[in-house]
Every structure is written in C-alpha cells, then in structure tokens.
Structure 1
C-alpha cells in the first residue's frame, strides 16, 4: 500500500475509533465530497475536513482527502460547523449545519488566499521570489544543492548574499549584516558569530528575506541590511513531517526530523537533529620582513576538526480564540568540538633557512546553548488589525581548553614553548518586544517597543611552562576576565498608504538608545595593562548613544507586472564582544588578533533604487544603491614592536574606526522558465567603495571595485530525476592593505523522487573543483611611509564535499506548495515577528 494513502485511512480509522466509543443508539452518517483548485480544477490532496460540534465545541472530528481530492468521513448525526481547509487557500465554511442524514457536499472549490500570502510571486513553478516594499523574499525549498547542507550553505545560494571561506556572511559585499531568525535575534544564529549556522540543517528553512532597505519596525543594527531566516511552520491539520538522513565525504553525517501536529486548538512542532563531521582545512602564510632578525617566515597550517552534537527546537502554539494565540518554544544545542592544528614554520635569514619548528594546538570546546521564547498574537480582525508581544531569553556557555606545544626540529631538536589555555565564555540575552498594527482602509499605522539586553563574560587563563622549575605558571600579564554589556532600548512608529492605484509609501522613524559597557579584571593595574597590550585604551568604559533612524520606502507601479521602488534608511553597526576584547588570540605566536575597546559604533545612510519587470516566462529584478558610512570598521595589520622569545616580530590585526566608507553599486537578477523541464536564474552584483582615514600616523585610505555573479540551472530529466548546477564567482577585491584574488566554486546535485513521491534521494557535490580558497596579499607600512612587511596567504576552510541524502515525508507531499504557476500569491508570511506588513 502506498504511504500517501495511509494518512487518509488513519484519519478514517481514528474517526471510527472515536465513534465506536459512543452509545450504540447514536446514529452514524457518511459525509462525502471532492475538493479542487478553483482556477485549475486540479484535485487537492490532503485537504482537511473539520467537523466541530455545536453542542460540544471541544468535540472535533474529520478527515483528509485522498489523491483524487475526495473525502468520505463517518460521523455521528448532529449539528456541526463544517470547514474545509488547505494550506495557502481560503477555507470553505458552512456554519450551523443540522446533519441528520448522510450527505454529499459535491465539488468544493478553494481559492488561493491572497490576503494571507501578502506578496507577489514573480516567478514560475519551482523557484519563487516575493517582492515587497522593503525586502525581497526567496523561497529556497526547491534548491537541490542544499539537500543535506547547512543554513550557512543555503545562504550562499541566495542572490545578493555571499559566504566566504570562513563562514562570514556579506550582503552586497558588506559584512555588516544583521542575521535574524523568524524576525528576532536568536541563539540559532549564534551570538555575534555564524558558527551555529554551519550546524543547523538547511531543510528547516522556509524562506530567506533579504532586507536591504529595512523599515522602522526592524532593529537598526547592521549597516548592510538584514537577513531574516524564516523556519518552517506547518499549517496543515493533523500529524505530518519529514526525516532527513545524510552522510558524506570528508566525514559528514546528519540526521534531522521535522515533526508537526496541528489541531483546531493547538499546533505542536519540533525539529530534532544530530550532526557529526570532520572537515579538514589548511592555511599558508608567507611573510617577508624588511627590518627584522628574519627576512622571511613561512607558516603551513593543517587543520583537522571534529564537530559533533545535537540540536532541538520544540514548541507549541495554543489558539486561545479564532483570532488569538500564545506560542511557547524551547531551543537547545549541545556541541562537542575538537580542533587540531599543526603549524610548520620555516624561518629564513636572507635566502638561507635558519630554523624549522612544529607547533601543535589541540582545542577542546563544549558549547551549550538554550533559548526560551514566548509569543502572544491577537488578530483583532481579518484586515490586519494586530497586536503581538514577545519575550525571549537566551543563554550560551562555552568551555574551551587548549594545549599548545612548539618544537624546533631543525637545526636541532628543542622544546620552545608549552602553554595551556582555559577559557569560559558565558552570554545571556533578554529580548522584550511589542508591536501594534492598525489598518485604516488602504493605509496602515504601526508602532512598537523593543528592548535587547546582552551580557558577555570571558574568563581567560594562560599557563606557560617554566623550563627552570619544570612546572606550569599562570601568565598574569594575559590572564583576565573581560565583561561586555550591550543594552538597546527602542521605540518606533511607521505609516504606510497607497495614493491612487500606482503609488505606495511606507514612512517610519525609530528612536534607539544604545549603552555599551566593558570592564577588564586583571592582576595588572591600568598602566601595566596598557604597557603589556601595546596600546592605550580605557579598561573600564561606559558609552551611551541616542540616535534617530528614519526610513522611507516608495513604490510606483508602472504596470501590473512592472514597478519602481526607492528606499532610504539610516543604520548602526555596534561592535561585538570579540571586536573590543583587548587581549590577543593564541592561534599563532607571531600573527595575532586583538580587539579594540575604543571602537565606536559606525553609522550609515543608504539609498536603494529598484526596478522589477515580469514577462510570461522571464522575471527581471535590478537595483542601484549608495551607502555612506561614518566611523566604518576596518581591520588593519600592524607591527606591535614586540618579539617572541626566539626573536620573531609579532604582527597584530586590530579593528579600527576609519573616518568614512562610501559604497555604491548595482545588481541585476534574471529568472527564466521558458521550457517546462528547465529553470534558469542568474544574478550579477557590481560595487565600488572608497575609504579614507588614518591610524597611528598611517593613511589607510583606499579605493576598490569588485563584483560577484551567481548562475543556477535546474533540469528535469526522465524517470523523475532532477539535476541542478550552481556556479559562483567572486571577483578580485582589496581593502586598505590587502588584495584578494578572485574565487570560483561550482556545486552540483542530482535528485530522484521515490516511494510514490513521498521520499527523495539526492547526491550533492559542494565545491566540485575544490577551488573555494581565499588567496590574498597584504602590505603594511610604518608611520614614515616605509614598507615594513608583506604577507602572501592562502586559506581553505573546508575541502570539496560529497553528500548523499535521503528525505522521507509523511502527510506532507513534496509539492504541497509548488506547482501553482504564476499567480498572485507566494508562501505564508511566517517571519514577520516585528509587526504587520504594509503592501502597496
């Protein structure tokens, strides 16, 4: 028996079981009918018939349609409210029905619910983009190359977005992007880091919202804009879900289950996952010095990582009334990581090899994350009058223990250094938010409050081996406890309206107060700290900023399938904890990263002009943009004036505020569906930026242009086989000190539906050519304008990956939301936790 029949039979048996518990005198009737799409006439499989007793509203029964759209349900005779539902369609309702005899409802036609979908689907069958006043929404569920992949991998296939070899995410080439989960900051996205996104499954994503001109409802954080990742939330009644199993080489395995149980009274949902991977990587540095004991030093690093853990997201939405609900959810992630790095270093004097050393670093990290969320939603009516309130608490604790040893093996065998690093990092975050939306005919008013309170504590201890005593001793110069707090309170209001039939606007103003506090606890006094760390800073700072952030979004509809948009917004980029922690990293004795406590927030003003045109089989999206950022962050490499015990100059990378950064560019995207078996899309983004500013007497101003392009083609082959290829190229680019070469990568996937389309098996090759490597060249000058050192480097975070995936769906057809053609409607709006959605 095919499994897709199981849900229908199970619902019938369940209904029969309930009826069997009733007195024999209770008369049984049979209700039949057929549910179809009102436009195409296609039968709707898994549409739900709901029978709610009028005498006893808690008594609910019903069933689902089979593959022909037909239902046949037995129920006790009585008075019922009858409802037929199907995801993304307007429900069919018959209230106060006195059903005393068996009845055939005939053919029931359901239409797409445009109000619920609140967007315009501008492409065809299997790849969709929704264009709204302040964002573009990409439904990525049909991307084969993300099968068995992570959220980070999925983002790398979204237009306007790039993910570099270390997992850093950029929007239009700018790394200052804010990442949200379901409209809110989340432990799922990590605390100021993207590491967690490389552990979460891509198949949990419903869609990604690319918000380059955020409205006032959003936090002003992120000068590049916002990426909002919307997770799946099933709306079909009954029990449904999917299980995804994959394995790959290099070793990479993952098991995920997405489960959902929905009734008229509650919706219970969960995502469970286990992951285990061993991704190898490497790095190479070739440094040349012009005034040092060594004229050249090369470092060849091999990185072997082992990551394993589990994640779970469990929640329930309880429907208080037909219009209001309360949702509680709990997320946790436990990971156990072991990173091993071997660093072979060769030192030259002129052209002769002076010595060779091998440095081994073994880092063990236990990371435990918890997040508790509570949401209240009250839809006062069907026109969008709405109140939402949110509370969220997140906590994360990382215990890191690192053993480091360095041995010289040429010209003599000699132990140079032994170190032990113990680090405990704790982060707590509270979020309070309330949003109110009031429609007024074609207009809409919105207002809200948001409070975000974060505290990060990093307790760091460095023990160094004393060769004289033969024991480890604590290095009090570098051992410390650094506490960093970021508290943001904000209120906002915005108003949108439609003037005539063609012009729409959304105007907003947000007031934010930001307080940044940092404190260093150390055995050293302030003067000793400054001498030890090599620069002047305030070890106990408290900064307060009050700012207004206006937003303007305009749309003019030239025709029904053609429009122009114009957006303006002001944004802020607040420094994260690791950017202000003044103590150096220990990944290398000679190349360190060091935070800057004097780093100030950066502010930007951005303009975006967009154009959209849709033809029958072709969709064109394009925009030009300009951004001016003051006190922009820039990472620079400088000599510290310090040396290791064996005479190597220590090079420091430190973030600074440059005076201005101006960026302007343009992007164009094309989606083409000319042939039924072929879907093609591509995008091209070109940008130019220039910066000016100086640090410690050195001018770091620069001007650079770069571009990136993405092409994707999907072919439907015979025997229900799909083939997709994605190509990406990032052009050469540079900042004030570093020039980076272009980088190309190709991903490929094959997929086949089996078991009556209830399951899919796929083969995915990520980075087919093993070319996703960062190659760069850095020059550093002293304050006299003389070249002090150069660095030629290559870095690869993860090698070419082969993955085989198997996904099984129950009561959740693969194309439940697809195959609807070009219509006015897209996916559901599950991600706008920040308030309502004004559409022109």
Structure 2
C-alpha cells in the first residue's frame, strides 16, 4: 500500500510538471518570419577528464545519473568501487577523505554511506578523484581525496534541479534538489533533500569453532529503517574586483531504528554447555553541522595574487541506545541490559593561504591550525529483578575525551611548460594528542611530527594522450570510531571496542597514469604503496570465557601493487560501452596472540556499463559488476559477488523534465554475504542473507536560466586530516 501511494504521488507530480512545462513550451513568441524546425545535434560527451593529480568524472554527461543515487554511480568512476556492504573504496582502500565543493564537511563524518545513498546523482555536477593530493591539502586519507562538486559556477540569473525517487523493497521514498542563483554582487548555491531507507527483515547465522572442540552456533534476524536528511549552502558577496567574501553551512541528520533477534547455543564434546536467546531494540540518532567563512583579498599589482583568511567550525553528535532482553536460558545468568553511548565531536579550524604567480610558476604557501575534541560518555545498566529497575554498572561504564590539535604549514610550486605540468611541494604537520578517562583519572598523550612531500608530473601529447607520474606520503590519524573505548556487548559472546592508544599510520605511494581520449577512451593507472605500523582490526578469542574481543591495534604492515583502468568505446552512434575496474594484490601481515598471521589477497572489482541512446529521448543502461573478496582486517575477509542493474531514462522535455527507473539484480532476490574470520585458536563464519533485488523510479526536473557566473573563493579550508 505504501508503494502504491508513493507511485501515485510520483505520477501526480510528473503530470503537474509536464503540464506546466508543456504550456510554456507551446507558447511561441510572436514573429513575422517563418519558424524554423528544431535541429537536434547529437554526440557523446566525454565523461572522464584527467589532470596530473586527479581524475574528473562528469555526472551530468552520464544519462544513468538521472535514475541512481551517488553511491551507485561511484562504481563507474576510475579508482572507486563499492563492496558487498555498500562501503565506498578508493583503490581498494577504505581510508580516504570526502570533500563537498572542495571543503571539508562534518555532515559527512561517520555517516558517509547513508548520505551518499540519499543524494540523487542528478543533483551533482561532477566528482573529482584526487590520487596525488597537492601539499595544500591535509595529508590525511591513505588512498587520497574524493571531491563532490554540487554546482558549477553559474551565470547571472538562477537554475536548479529537483529529483523525486522511490526504491523497493529495499530503500524507500526520497527527494533531492539543488539551486543556484546570482544577482549583482550576491550569489547563493544550495543542495539538499532526504530519504527513508527500509531494510526489510533478513536472516543471519554465525558459527565459531575453537581448538578445544567447542562450537558456538547462532541464528538470528534483523530489520531496520534509517531516515536521512541533508542540506548544504554557500553564499558569496563580491565587494569589488579585489575582495570576495563567502560563507558555507552544511547539515546532515539521521535517525536509525533497528531490531535484531538471535538464538545462541554453545556445545562441547560432552554436549550442550550454554544456551540463550535475545532481542535487541536499537536506536541511533546523529547530526553533523559545519559553518565557515572565507575572506579573499586580491592585489592591484598582480591579478592572480591572492591572500585568503578562513575559519571553520564543525560539530558532530551521535547517540546510540540498545535495549537487550534475554530468554530461553540454559547456564546463562547475564541480566537484561541497556547500553548507551553519547559521542561528541567539535572542531575549530583557522587557516591563511597565499598564492602568487611568478611568470609560468605558481607559488602557494599557508599556515593552518585545527583544534579538535572528541568525547564519549557510555553507560551499561543491568536489570535488577528484585526492584524492577535498571542500575548502572560502574565497572562497565566510563567517559572518555580526546583532544587532537594539528598545526601545519605548506609550500608548493606549480609549473606549466608547454605540454608539461608539474606540481611539487612539502607539508609539515605537528600533532598533539591527549586522552583522558574520567573513571581512572588517567591521561595518555602522544606527539608526532611529520614532513610530507608530494610530487605530480604530467605530460600531454599532440595526439590528445597524456602520461602522469606521482609520489606522495599520506597519513591516517585514528578518529573517534577507532579510539572510542566504549564496549558494545549487544552479543554476549562478542565485545566490540576501540583502542585509545592507537598511533597514526604513514603510507608511501608511487603512481603512474596514461590517458587517451580518442574514439577509444583509455585511462590506466599503476600503483605501488607500502606502510608499517598499520592499525588493523584484530580479534582476540578467550577460550575460558568463550568471548571474542574485536578491537584495533598497530600490529600490521602491508604493501600492494595494482592497476586501475577505465575503457570506453562508442560501438555505434547510439550504443557505447565502458569498463571500469581495478585489480590489486595485497600483502598483509601482523600478529595474533604473539603468532605471525598473513592475510594476502588478490582483490578486484569490475563494472561493465552499456548505454543505448534511442530516438525521442530514450536511453537504456545495462551494468554488470564483479567483485572479489575483500579483507576485513588482519584476520578476515568477505566473499565476492556478481551484480547487475538495468535502467532507463526518458526525456519528456529535453534538458528540462525526465523520468527514469530500473531494477538491480533482477535474477537474484537475496545475496549471501559471508564474513570469514580466523585466528590461532579459532575459525568463524558469519553469514547474512540480505535483499539484493530492488526496483526504483525517479523524476527529474531542471529549471532556470543563466547569464553570468557566480563568484567563489579560489582557496578555502579543506580538513582531510583524520580518519573515521
């Protein structure tokens, strides 16, 4: 019934928009001459552009963007892939930073997957994958930076877009839009929307066998609903030809309700040892806000000399609550319990940047200070059946705060010599960390200093091809999710916690790329990287308590070599095909209970996309994907999978109004997601059966007209120095 109502709403909206646009379209201006018939010029616009340090994907040029969300479109972008749990990966790595319009956004922190699912791709202009970030960017993000551009520099006037969509049985209704306007010295650009994402009930199983012959077998189910809303805006004021003032405001909020139930049995060589069942009703709410201001001052003596002062305030709040009730007990005495965790994040950033050209050389320099505080207040309460109320267990409750101050300076040089372009620089960063536990009145501190170079060289040829070479060092500082000592005991046989003693990880990366945008478009990147002191997820199993403790530790080292590629070819005037993929071999090693552990994997992800453009504004897409297994830490990996998607788009009014839709994985209703974990004393396999087949429909409406472009700062704050 909900789906029928949603479809009815979509039909009504499409009818209204179509009627209004048709009336305007049909009102021809009065002329005395003969009207010319419309002339249609068709051609395939290039989706991909390469620079020395990045790849740029034009979403507006891809017709499939009209019927998909941003996360789905990431599968088609070079260097990017999406794993079986819908986690975004860059060069097979989950450590990267995401910017919105070149600026950091706390609204994305800790909620990236949900936000990307909720943003219609039709509201995004392009996505930049910065593989060798220049020195003016913070050094955080082992794989690099993803920059999402929501609006182009627009002209005098206004324009905008509106998207209404529905997905089922997984997903739900959503709406998104963007708006840009400029009048005189004032300009504004904004995007926003939201969706309701339903995950219907599915089933899972877990089996863990230890060296002593004990077997843990669990069967369960789960379902959830996640409501997400987001909004971002940027304001600009051009005081005169030399002074520009801009301000930004971003917001993201979410509310998750989930339900899980499980039956658990522990057996040994002599029979049943323990048995219980539980029901967990969970709720999580969160929001992120960032607000900033930038003042850019030019110089009369030199047009492109700029001095910019920037300030950014960011905050994140995440509350998690779980209500766990046990039943069917055999040799199990744990009481019903409540778990709460209140996480807070605050950040102040101050930055000064100076840019000046010297002939063909562009020089950049800057200073930056980030004052950051993370905190967590967690409580574990058990039910006292004698008095009928929950009481806090002090030994399992605590509060934790972590301050992380980063002070940095950079200097970089950009040189353009005919067909050559070079970008080289160095960044120095001093990090001061303090961690405080209220229950033990203990303080732990870390200071570290890093000198981080970056070099990117590109060479273009007359035939339109180009090559590029890059070397960079990148750093990953642990964020609150990895540091937080809160212990999640939702499953009594497993404890999940962070490690406040984690240290940062430094990566060395060498890259080579080739690009040719002839009829056959070719983009290939070769990559080799290595790092020590790697912070990995580790699983420690205690045979006496039969509890597995999952945390993070600086126990590993790794190296990898791989190739990323994107090939596209217009087979005919109406049919084109492209193949996007990456292949990497990972050498990963560490220790478990003092014993060496290796988890070497061949990893790959391929997406074959087929686009057919028909007459009368029709476009059809067929995508086929293949993903290998991926590591989940030092001691685990997920299984691979095959996926497919078929979409259509119909321009009802060209460049104004369209309708799109499709089906994902029509031949497979469920996907069995298997997570394998191993150790010196145990082996474990967790299998979840998730909905894989989904249908979607989408309406897109573009409006407005433009005359002159909006003004923006050319330099601003980009905080990309901490990992989630």
Question: TM-score under structure 1 normalisation?
Answer: 0.76
Question: Which of 386, 398, 402 is equivalent to 2:318?
Answer: 398
The equivalent residue for 1:91 is none
1:658–1:691 Cα contact (<8 Å) kept: no
Query: For residues 395-794 of structure 1, what are the structure 2 equivalents within 5 Å?
Result: 395-408=315-328, 417-499=335-417, 501-522=418-439, 525=440, 540-615=443-518, 617-640=519-542, 643=545, 649-734=546-631, 736-755=634-653, 757-768=655-666, 769-770=668-669, 773-781=672-680, 788-794=681-687
Question: Which of 237, 240, 244 is equivalent to 2:163?
Answer: 244
CA RMSD of aligned residues (A): 3.5
The equivalent residue for 2:150 is 231
Shift of 1:761: 0.8
The equivalent residue for 2:247 is 328
The equivalent residue for 2:184 is 264
Looking at structure 1, the residues matched to 713 and 168 of structure 2 have their Cα atoms a distance apart, in angstroms, of: 34
For the residue of structure 1 that corresponds to 2:492, the secondary structure is coil
The equivalent residue for 1:217 is 136
Looking at structure 2, the residues matched to 163 and 363 of structure 1 have their Cα atoms a distance apart, in angstroms, of: 26
The equivalent residue for 2:12 is none
Shift of 1:320: 1.5
Cα gap change, 1:663 to 1:756, in 2 (>3 Å)? closer
Looking at structure 2, the residues matched to 419 and 304 of structure 1 have their Cα atoms a distance apart, in angstroms, of: 20
Looking at structure 2, the residues matched to 695 and 828 of structure 1 have their Cα atoms a distance apart, in angstroms, of: 56
Cα gap change, 1:200 to 1:718, in 2 (>3 Å)? closer
For the residue of structure 1 that corresponds to 2:287, the secondary structure is strand
Cα gap change, 1:331 to 1:746, in 2 (>3 Å)? same
The equivalent residue for 1:37 is none
Farther off after superposition, 188-197 or 651-660? 188-197
Larger Rg: 1
* CA deviation vs aligned residue, 1:389-409 (integer Å, no higher than 9, x gap): 332212222333321112117
The equivalent residue for 1:646 is none
1:669–1:681 Cα contact (<8 Å) kept: yes
1:669–1:684 Cα contact (<8 Å) kept: yes
* CA deviation vs aligned residue, 1:602-644 (integer Å, no higher than 9, x gap): 11111001112232x111111211111121122121114562x
For the residue of structure 1 that corresponds to 2:240, the secondary structure is coil
Query: For residues 1-400 of structure 1, what are the structure 2 equivalents within 5 Å?
Result: 3=21, 125-147=44-66, 149-191=68-110, 194-233=113-152, 235-250=154-169, 251-280=171-200, 282-291=203-212, 295-350=214-269, 357-378=276-297, 384-400=304-320
Shift of 1:420: 1.1
Cα gap change, 1:201 to 1:374, in 2 (>3 Å)? farther
1:731–1:741 Cα contact (<8 Å) kept: yes
* CA deviation vs aligned residue, 1:803-836 (integer Å, no higher than 9, x gap): 11111111269xx9xxxxxxxxxx9998974599
For the residue of structure 2 that corresponds to 1:152, the secondary structure is helix
Looking at structure 2, the residues matched to 693 and 421 of structure 1 have their Cα atoms a distance apart, in angstroms, of: 32
For the residue of structure 1 that corresponds to 2:261, the secondary structure is strand
For the residue of structure 2 that corresponds to 1:189, the secondary structure is coil
The equivalent residue for 2:722 is none
Shift of 1:354: 6.2
Farther off after superposition, 720-729 or 430-439? 430-439
Shift of 1:200: 3.8
Looking at structure 2, the residues matched to 397 and 489 of structure 1 have their Cα atoms a distance apart, in angstroms, of: 25
Looking at structure 1, the residues matched to 612 and 149 of structure 2 have their Cα atoms a distance apart, in angstroms, of: 27
Looking at structure 1, the residues matched to 689 and 352 of structure 2 have their Cα atoms a distance apart, in angstroms, of: 44
1:488–1:513 Cα contact (<8 Å) kept: yes
Farther off after superposition, 769-778 or 633-642? 769-778
Residue 804 (structure 1) aligned with residue 702 (structure 2): no
Shift of 1:555: 1.7
Looking at structure 2, the residues matched to 611 and 733 of structure 1 have their Cα atoms a distance apart, in angstroms, of: 27
Cα gap change, 1:521 to 1:641, in 2 (>3 Å)? farther
Cα gap change, 1:490 to 1:611, in 2 (>3 Å)? same
Shift of 1:151: 3.4
Shift of 1:483: 1.0
* CA deviation vs aligned residue, 1:707-761 (integer Å, no higher than 9, x gap): 2212111111233211112222112355642243222222221111114542111
2:658–2:701 Cα contact (<8 Å) kept: yes
For the residue of structure 2 that corresponds to 1:589, the secondary structure is coil
Cα gap change, 1:830 to 1:283, in 2 (>3 Å)? farther
Shift of 1:144: 4.7
Shift of 1:679: 2.4
Farther off after superposition, 222-231 or 194-203? 194-203
Cα gap change, 1:710 to 1:592, in 2 (>3 Å)? same
For the residue of structure 2 that corresponds to 1:571, the secondary structure is strand
1:514–1:546 Cα contact (<8 Å) kept: yes
Larger RCO (CA within 8 A; separation ≥ 6): 2
For the residue of structure 1 that corresponds to 2:336, the secondary structure is strand
2:151–2:189 Cα contact (<8 Å) kept: no
Looking at structure 2, the residues matched to 336 and 613 of structure 1 have their Cα atoms a distance apart, in angstroms, of: 45
For the residue of structure 2 that corresponds to 1:385, the secondary structure is strand
* CA deviation vs aligned residue, 1:103-154 (integer Å, no higher than 9, x gap): xxxxxxxxxxxxxxxxxxxxx7344212111111111234455546443333
Looking at structure 2, the residues matched to 127 and 612 of structure 1 have their Cα atoms a distance apart, in angstroms, of: 13
Cα gap change, 1:188 to 1:6, in 2 (>3 Å)? farther
1:144–1:749 Cα contact (<8 Å) kept: no
For the residue of structure 1 that corresponds to 2:52, the secondary structure is coil
Shift of 1:692: 3.4
Cα gap change, 1:553 to 1:282, in 2 (>3 Å)? farther
Cα gap change, 1:396 to 1:502, in 2 (>3 Å)? closer
For the residue of structure 2 that corresponds to 1:154, the secondary structure is helix
The equivalent residue for 1:77 is none
2:324–2:490 Cα contact (<8 Å) kept: no
Shift of 1:443: 1.8
For the residue of structure 2 that corresponds to 1:578, the secondary structure is helix
Cα gap change, 1:657 to 1:149, in 2 (>3 Å)? same
Looking at structure 2, the residues matched to 236 and 433 of structure 1 have their Cα atoms a distance apart, in angstroms, of: 29
Contiguous gaps of at least 5 residues in structure 2: 1-18, 30-35, 719-724
Shift of 1:351: 9.4
For the residue of structure 1 that corresponds to 2:60, the secondary structure is coil
Question: TM-score under structure 2 normalisation?
Answer: 0.87
Looking at structure 1, the residues matched to 544 and 345 of structure 2 have their Cα atoms a distance apart, in angstroms, of: 33
Looking at structure 2, the residues matched to 478 and 467 of structure 1 have their Cα atoms a distance apart, in angstroms, of: 19
1:355–1:408 Cα contact (<8 Å) kept: no
Cα gap change, 1:668 to 1:652, in 2 (>3 Å)? same
Shift of 1:248: 2.1
